[in-house]
Amino acid sequence: MPTTDDDLAMMHRALRRAREGQNSQGGGPIGCIIVMEGRIVAEAHNEVSAEHDPTAHAEITAIRLACQALGRDDLRGATLYSTLQPCAMCSMACIWTSIGRIVYGARRESVHRMYFEGRSPDVDQILADAYRDDMGLVGGVLEEACASLYFRPEDDPPDSMQTNV
Ligand SMILES: [Zn+2]
């Protein structure tokens, strides 16, 4: 599925949201935007540390906000934008929510392996193999800008660094 001008605009917005998260107390540098019929219905950044909630990934928080805003528990037809490839938990949440399309920025090979290793299967595989063959998936949108938010594959992050994808 090709990338559109709207995709780029929304990913820029997700990047801004990620930077807000990075600069906020207890926030993390992951940004997520959900768009339904051309309208932004939710945006969020990672709040795991701020909320003491390991499920408060940007995508989960945005899904909750979008469902509350729309008064429904599915997001059929929506597009979810994330600055980093969604983890397995968030990918499954997208599936349960019937999100129509996922667009993400940094691919896992562009960031340090700590973000995924040993804890998260590849969302590309999850979506391709198992559940929804009607779900669109585009990775690598504004990849350089998104990847610049995270430790690089060759970086040596501090031991105490929490992943908080
Ligand atoms: Zn996640």
Task: For the chain, list the strands marked E by DSSP.
Answer: 28-36, 39-46, 79-84, 101-106, 136-138
Query: Quick count: other Cβ atoms within 10 Å of Cβ 21?
Result: 24
> From the CA of 30, how far away is ligand 1's center (Å)?
9
b/e sequence 74-89, b meaning 16+ C-beta within 10 Å: ebeebbbbbbbbbbbb
pLDDT on residue 43: 98
pLDDT tens for 24-62 read 998 899 999 999 999 999 999 999 999 999 999 999 999
Asked if 143 is an active-site residue, the reply is no
pLDDT tens for 49-102 read 999 999 999 999 999 999 999 999 999 999 999 999 998 899 889 989 999 999
Pairing assessment for the beta strands 79-84 and 28-36 based on DSSP bridges: antiparallel
Of the residues 37, 59, 109, 143, only one is catalytic, namely 59
pLDDT on residue 22: 93
> From the CA of 87, how far away is ligand 1's center (Å)?
4
Is the pLDDT at 121 greater than 90? The verdict is no
> From the CA of 89, how far away is ligand 1's center (Å)?
5
Residue 4 bridge partners (DSSP): none
> From the CA of 69, how far away is ligand 1's center (Å)?
21
